Amino acid sequence: MEIKKATEAVSSGVPTAVQLEAINAQAKAQLTAEQVYVFSLRLCDDQIDRDQERFDTTALPGLATLFIGKTGIVDHRWSAENQIARIFETQVVKEKGVSYVKAWAYIRRGGSNDEVIADIEAGIKKEVSVGCAMGSAVCSICGSEYGTCGHLKGEFYDGQHCCAILQDPVDAYEFSFVAVPAQRDAGVLKALGGRKKNLQELAEEFGIQAEYRGLFKEAELGRQYRRELENDVVRMLQSLDLGADHQVLRSVVKSAAAEDLLKLRGSLEAKMAEFLPVTTQLGGFAEEKAKLESGFLI
């Protein structure tokens, strides 16, 4: 899942001496303060976004480092002609309980770039989004890999809001000026390091969430039946007093195929019926009744 997360740029103008030094670490030719324009922007934060996902707070420092030196483009169009800025410094900031990556970028003054700078100063080019790759996403409810547990983003479980927590930063690509960040392409490109999409992600992508939920419920019934089948087999094996440890029996039945467990349960039921026949507390009643009734026969 590619990630794009909406944020905004904050103008600042002329770089300080320290900032200029950091800028020149990115440039091949030595630039002067008059040649560049700097601005700050807020990149990734740890809050739930409109896609019901959030960055793990512990992942932000790694992302901050990865964004240093990355380019600023327009509308996420990856081409050299769209490069207009570059990040030269980042840090993780915490304000009012929210942690986020703050970055500083520079633009070379002159030509068409002056129009971009003017738009930033005027508040027209204000919203940006970022592209990055994350190594994993886990469910906020149970901590499992998202898509494997059945919990759905945006739903509530015992009062807890379910979301996918993005962890393990892999790469940072770029930040981009966008026209309408509220749209899907202007959000955060949810990238998970190029891994294959799981079934739940595909269901969301193709709009078949209802079918996915139905399949998941059926699968859960199957898992429940499997657990009951394993419990039956272990119980009967222990009843036969084979001397095997309970954990050993559990391990054996867990690795067996469901078809084999069904056959084994049938065999064990037959053996138990042979060696441990079912008796009732009133087993001798019929015989006693016959004796009593025979006393009246002439």
Residue 270: per-residue pLDDT: 84
In contact, 129 and 179? CB cutoff 8 Å: no
pLDDT of 130 above 50? yes
In contact, 104 and 38? CB cutoff 8 Å: yes
Residue 287: per-residue pLDDT: 55
pLDDT of 298 above 60? no
How far apart are alpha carbons 107 and 37 in whole angstroms?
Answer: 5
Instruction: Name the residue among 43, 51, 38 with its Cα closest to residue 176.
Output: 43
**95-124 pLDDT per residue, tens:** 889 898 888 999 999 888 888 888 888 877
Residue 187: per-residue pLDDT: 32
The domain locations on the chain are 3-135+168-195, 209-275
pLDDT of 58 above 50? yes
Mean pLDDT for the stretch of residues 25-48: 88
Token pair for residue 200?
A: 């739940």
**62-86 pLDDT per residue, tens:** 999 999 999 888 766 676 667 888 9
pLDDT of 92 above 90? yes
pLDDT of 33 above 70? yes
pLDDT of 205 above 70? no
Mean pLDDT for the stretch of residues 41-55: 86
Residue 288: per-residue pLDDT: 54
**207-238 pLDDT per residue, tens:** 777 777 778 788 878 888 888 888 888 888 88
